[in-house]
Chain A
C-alpha cells in the first residue's frame, strides 16, 4: 500500500503518439513526459490536431502506444489487463455519448458490464450524484436523449464518477457548457480529485477554465510538453 502511495498515478516517459494515415501512422508528438501525482490535476493545452485527444486515447489503450513508456501506479501499462486500466481510468469525450433510455438507465448502464465489479448504485445514490453535478432530481426518470449539450456532459461526468475511477481523462468537458455550468463542473472535479488519491488529466482550451483550475498547464508541442 505504501509503495502504491509513493508511485505517481500515471507517468509518461518519452511517449510518442500517432494516428493512422493511409497504410502507415503519422506521428503527432514525441518525447512526451508527464507525472501525475495523487490529488492533482494536470491541464493540457495546445492547438487543435496537436494530439491531445490521441494522448488520452493512448493512455486508455483505445489508440496504440507508438513508443515510450506509460506507467499506471508504477506498472507498465502494457502489462496490465486492458479492462483493469479502463475500470480505474475513465475517459470523458468532448461530445459525450448518451444512450437511449432514461437518465437513470444511463447512470446504471456501466454496472451491467462484467468488468465493473461494483454493485449497481441505489436510487438515493443516483439522486446524490445528480445533485453533485448540478442536475435536478426530477431528471432521473427523464429520457436522456432530450437533454441539452451541457446537461448531457454533466450526466456523462456523473456516470463516470459513479464507477469510482482513480483517474479521469477529460477531453474538453466544458466546451459545450455555459459559464455557470462550467463553474459547477470545475468545482465538482476539484472536490472529487481530493477524495482519496485521485487524479485528473484535463485537456482544455478556455483561458478562463485554466485560471479557475489554478494549476499551471502543460502546452503540448510536436517535440514534447512545455510549461
Chain B
C-alpha cells in the first residue's frame, strides 16, 4: 500500500520553480504577466497558509461555535465574490446572494455531513469545513451565472415579457421562460462536469485523498457523494437566487423596473 509522503518547505520551493519558469516565458514572449504571476503565486501561498492555520486552529478546538464562525467567514468571502461577479446589480441583489449562498450551502453541507456521511457530531471540523468550502465555491459559481443570465434576460427579452404582461400574464407567468433560462445556465456547468469526471478529469478532492494515501475505493465514494452534493447546491442556490431576484425586477404595478427598461 502506498504511504503518504509528508512535504517540507523545500518541496514547495521546488514547485515554485514552475511559476518561475512561467514567469521567464512570459518575460521572453513579452506577455507582461510576470507581475500577475508573482502576485498570484504569493497569494496562493499566503491565503492557503492562513487557511491552514485557521483550519488547524478550529480542528484543535473541536467547538461548534468556532466551526460555525469559520463557516460564516468563508460564506462572507463567497458572498463578496458572488456580488462582485454580477455585471448588472439591482438594489438588494447583495441580500439575495447572501440568502441563496447561505441557505443552499448550509442545508447541503449539514445534510451531507450529518446524514449521508454520518459524521458524529455533524460539525466534525475535518469533515464539515472542507465539505462547506466545496459547496460554497460551487454554489457561488451557479448563483452568479444564474443571476447574470436572468437579469440580462429581463433586459434583452423586455419586449417578450411586456407582451405577456399586456396579454394578462402575472409577473411570474411573464418572466417564467427567462427564470428557467437563468436556472439552467446556473446548473449546466455542474451537469457537464458530472459527465466528464473520472474520464477527462480527476477532481481535486479525490486526487488529494489519493495523494494522502487513502484507499482509491474510499476516495471514489467520497467523490461521488461530493459531485451529487455539488449538483444539489448549485441547483438550490440558482433557484433561490433567481426566485428572490424575480421580485426585484418588477415594480408594485407589475411592470419591469424602469432602470431595466432603460438599459434595454
| Nearest-Cβ distance from residue B75 to partner chain A, whole angstroms | 32
Most B-side CB within 10 Å, residue of A82, A109, A114, A160: A82
**How far apart are the CA atoms of A114 and B258 in the complex, in Å?**
25
A82:B253 contact, CB within 8 angstroms: yes
B33 — which chain A residues lie within 8 A by C-beta?
none
A83:B254 contact, CB within 8 angstroms: yes
B173 on the interface (CB 8 Å rule)?
Answer: yes
B45 on the interface (CB 8 Å rule)?
Answer: no
Q: State which of A61, A62, A90 has its C-beta within 8 Å of the C-beta of B167.
A: A90
**How far apart are the CA atoms of A31 and B53 in the complex, in Å?**
70
Q: A86-B165, A97-B163 are known contacts. Are A114 and B170 too (CB-CB below 8 A)?
A: yes
B168:A113 contact, CB within 8 angstroms: yes
A97 — which chain B residues lie within 8 A by C-beta?
159-160, 162-163
A87 — which chain B residues lie within 8 A by C-beta?
168
B262 on the interface (CB 8 Å rule)?
Answer: yes
| Nearest-Cβ distance from residue A100 to partner chain B, whole angstroms | 10
Binary per-residue interface labels of chain B (248-259) against chain A in the complex, 1 for a CB within 8 Å, 0 otherwise: 000101111011
A90:B254 contact, CB within 8 angstroms: no
Q: State which of A21, A93, A99, A110 has its C-beta within 8 Å of the C-beta of B168.
A: A110
**How far apart are the CA atoms of A120 and B253 in the complex, in Å?**
26
B258:A113 contact, CB within 8 angstroms: no
B258:A64 contact, CB within 8 angstroms: yes
| Nearest-Cβ distance from residue A85 to partner chain B, whole angstroms | 9
A82:B167 contact, CB within 8 angstroms: no
| Nearest-Cβ distance from residue B203 to partner chain A, whole angstroms | 38
| Nearest-Cβ distance from residue A208 to partner chain B, whole angstroms | 27
B39 on the interface (CB 8 Å rule)?
Answer: no
| Nearest-Cβ distance from residue A93 to partner chain B, whole angstroms | 7
Q: A20-B261, A83-B170, A91-B166 are known contacts. Are A61 and B159 too (CB-CB below 8 A)?
A: no
Chain A residues 104 to 121 lying within 8 A of chain B, measured CB to CB, are: 109-110, 112-116
B72 — which chain A residues lie within 8 A by C-beta?
none
B169 on the interface (CB 8 Å rule)?
Answer: yes
A159:B253 contact, CB within 8 angstroms: no
| Nearest-Cβ distance from residue A61 to partner chain B, whole angstroms | 4
B166 — which chain A residues lie within 8 A by C-beta?
60, 62, 86, 90-91, 93
Name the residue on B nearest A159 (C-beta).
B167
A20:B258 contact, CB within 8 angstroms: yes
B164 — which chain A residues lie within 8 A by C-beta?
113
A116 — which chain B residues lie within 8 A by C-beta?
167-168
A113:B253 contact, CB within 8 angstroms: no
**How far apart are the CA atoms of A61 and B258 in the complex, in Å?**
12
A134 — which chain B residues lie within 8 A by C-beta?
none
Name the residue on B nearest A86 (C-beta).
B168
Q: A20-B261, A63-B255 are known contacts. Are A83 and B163 too (CB-CB below 8 A)?
A: no
A96 on the interface (CB 8 Å rule)?
Answer: yes
B168:A64 contact, CB within 8 angstroms: no
Chain B residues 203 to 239 lying within 8 A of chain A, measured CB to CB, are: none
Binary per-residue interface labels of chain A (148-177) against chain B in the complex, 1 for a CB within 8 Å, 0 otherwise: 000000000001100100000000000000
Q: A61-B253, A96-B163, A97-B163 are known contacts. Are A115 and B170 too (CB-CB below 8 A)?
A: yes
B262:A20 contact, CB within 8 angstroms: yes
Q: State which of B160, B168, B256, B262 has its C-beta within 8 Å of the C-beta of A83.
A: B168
**How far apart are the CA atoms of A20 and B159 in the complex, in Å?**
17
B251:A64 contact, CB within 8 angstroms: yes
B173 — which chain A residues lie within 8 A by C-beta?
112-114
| Nearest-Cβ distance from residue A92 to partner chain B, whole angstroms | 8
A60 — which chain B residues lie within 8 A by C-beta?
166
B170 — which chain A residues lie within 8 A by C-beta?
83, 113-115
Chain A residues close to B by CB (< 8 Å): 20-21, 25, 60-64, 82-83, 86-87, 90-91, 93, 95-97, 99, 109-110, 112-116, 159-160, 163
Could you list some 9 contacts between A and B, CB below 8 A? A62-B162, A64-B258, A82-B254, A93-B159, A97-B160, A97-B162, A110-B167, A113-B164, A115-B169
Known interface pairs A62-B256, A63-B258; 14 further A-B residue pairs with C-beta atoms within 8 A, sorted by A's residue number: A61-B255, A62-B165, A62-B255, A64-B253, A83-B170, A86-B165, A90-B166, A95-B159, A99-B163, A110-B169, A113-B164, A114-B170, A116-B168, A163-B167
